[in-house]
Amino acid sequence: MLERNKFFSSIFGLKGSQKGSFSDYDLNSALDELNSLVGLTNVKDLIKQLEAYICLEGMRKEKGLKYEPLTLHMIFKGNPGTGKTTVARLLGKIFKGIGILSKGHVVEVERADLVGEYIGHTAQKTRDVVKKSIGGIMFIDEAYSLARGGEKDFGKEAIDTLVKAMEDHKNEFILILAGYRDEMEYFLNTNPGLKSRFAFQFDFSDYTIDELMLISDKMTSDRDYKLTFKAKRKIYRLLIRCLNDNKLKEGNARLVRNIIEKSIMNQAVRIYKKSSIEKSDLIFIEDVDIPDNIFY
Biggest CA–CA distance in the chain, Å, is 75
For 146, which DSSP code?
A: G
- 8 Å CB contact between 74 and 176: yes
Helix (H) or strand (E) holding 138: strand 137-140
- 8 Å CB contact between 162 and 126: yes
Residue 11 clears pLDDT 50, i.e. is over it: no
pLDDT top residue among 168 and 108: 108
Residue 4 clears pLDDT 60, i.e. is over it: no
Query: What is the predicted pLDDT for the residue at 16?
Result: 34
What is the spatial distance between Cα 27 and Cα 23, in angstroms, rounded to a whole number? Answer: 6
Mean pLDDT of 278-291: 93
pLDDT in tens, 52-74: 887 787 788 788 887 777 788 99
Give the range among 23-27, 179-183, 241-245, 290-294 with minimum mean pLDDT.
Answer: 23-27
Domains of the chain, CATH where assigned: 20-204 (3.40.50.300), 209-289 (1.10.8.60)
Query: What is the predicted pLDDT for the residue at 12?
Result: 44
Cβ-based burial of 44 (10 A; exposed 0-12, middle 13-18, buried ≥19): middle
The one-letter code for the residue type at 41 is T
Residue 49 clears pLDDT 60, i.e. is over it: yes
- 8 Å CB contact between 134 and 172: yes
Query: What is the predicted pLDDT for the residue at 24?
Result: 58
Query: What is the predicted pLDDT for the residue at 131?
Result: 93
- 8 Å CB contact between 158 and 146: yes
What is the spatial distance between Cα 58 and Cα 63, in angstroms, rounded to a whole number? Answer: 9
3-state secondary structure of 262: helix
Query: What is the predicted pLDDT for the residue at 13?
Result: 42
Q: How far apart are the first and last CA of the chain?
A: 44
The closest alpha carbon to 29, from 9, 5, 7, 50, belongs to 5
Mean pLDDT of 104-108: 93
Query: What is the predicted pLDDT for the residue at 10?
Result: 46
**CA-CA-CA-CA dihedral for 269, 272, 277, 283, to nearest 10:** 30
Neighbour count for residue 244 (Cβ, 10 Å): 9
pLDDT in tens, 166-222: 888 888 899 999 998 888 888 888 776 777 888 888 889 888 899 999 999 999 999
pLDDT in tens, 246-274: 766 666 888 899 999 999 999 999 999 88
What value does the mean pLDDT of the chain take?
83
- 8 Å CB contact between 112 and 169: no
Query: What is the predicted pLDDT for the residue at 230?
Result: 96
The one-letter code for the residue type at 12 is F
Note the pTM of the prediction, 2 decimals: 0.79
